[in-house]
Amino acid sequence: MKNTVSTLLKQKQSGDKITMLTAYDYTTAKIMDECGVNAILIGDSLGMVMLGYENTLPVTMEDMVHHTAAVSRGAENAFVVADMPFMSYQVSVAEAVTNAGRLIKEGGANAVKLEGGAEVCEQIKAIVNASIPVVAHLGLTPQSVNAFGGFKVQGKSLEKAEKLINDAMKIQEAGACAVVLEGIPAKIAEIITKRLVIPTIGIGAGNGCDGQVLVYQDMLGLTTGHTAKFVRVFAQVGELMRNGISDYIAETKNGNFPAVEHTYSLDEDIVKALEKKFL
């Protein structure tokens, strides 16, 4: 059965941890859905892990709609959340509603996610008023990488920790149905989780959240180079892919692939006739 905002809320209330993973294409979403993941996020992290950008800032609405539609087709049961890309909701409330609407209408998402606290409450209210569920995103919000001066853990001072907690209460008041807490000390995430009625989904925010989210390339060992402290590699899929691709190259070059079982045959009489005529 399709997971909804109510499913996630009930999970918080019963203490059943919410599982969310990112996906950007049909095949991956289908596998995750079959495994029983509760929610799938089409993160604007696709800019980095799918499109090879340095950060999420160049991602466009077209990118998000395209990938969201592919994931939605593969996600039968999982709750599908689509990220609103940088500058798709900051300029005006009207633009925010229009762009959120596209992710639902054209992308088939069940909810949208946007980054920020008090400063985006008007956008959250307006999108929710258009009957579109909104997931908020606080802490190390990657679209603010330039303002933060890098990807740094947030909320380390008393003042900043208090701002995070106040922002969490404000986005709930504005109507957000859940909040992603990224790159903040576990204690702050725990306090927010206890204060809020809506579920918290953590990434680099410790074990006290109502659920967890990870970028799938990170948790399947597909990411090369630096990975964040909060990532656990659950399976070395990258290594399996490298082995498989190297084997394919070697077996093709040495003539072992394709073998007889991968080859279509032809009636012997026809073979003889063709050989007589053409060879």
Which residue lies nearest ligand KIV, judged by its C-beta? 43
Minimum Å gap between C-beta 171 and ligand KIV is: 15
41 or 161: whose CB is closer to ligand KIV?
Answer: 41
Minimum Å gap between C-beta 125 and ligand KIV is: 21
Residue bearing tokens 């992308």? 107
Point out the catalytic residue in the list 182, 239, 251, 275. Answer: 182
Listed residue (111, 128, 131) closest to 120, CA to CA: 128
* Phi and psi at residue 5, to the nearest 5°: -55, -40
Compute the distance between CA of residue 51 and CA of residue 59 in angstroms, rounded to an integer. Answer: 9
- Annotated catalytic, 115? no
Minimum Å gap between C-beta 49 and ligand KIV is: 8
Minimum Å gap between C-beta 213 and ligand KIV is: 5
Minimum Å gap between C-beta 41 and ligand KIV is: 6
51 or 273: whose CB is closer to ligand KIV?
Answer: 51
43 or 221: whose CB is closer to ligand KIV?
Answer: 43
Return residues touching ligand KIV (CB under 6 A): 22, 41, 43-45, 83, 180, 182, 203, 213, 215
Q: 260: alpha, beta or left, given left = phi > 0 and alpha = psi -120 to 50?
A: alpha
The CA–CA distances, whole Å, from 276 to 264, 269, 272 equal: 21, 11, 6
11 or 45: whose CB is closer to ligand KIV?
Answer: 45
Token digits of residue 76: 């039968």
114 or 165: whose CB is closer to ligand KIV?
Answer: 114
Cα within 13 Å of Cα(41), Cβ side: 30
21 or 165: whose CB is closer to ligand KIV?
Answer: 21
Minimum Å gap between C-beta 83 and ligand KIV is: 5
Residues assigned a catalytic role: 182
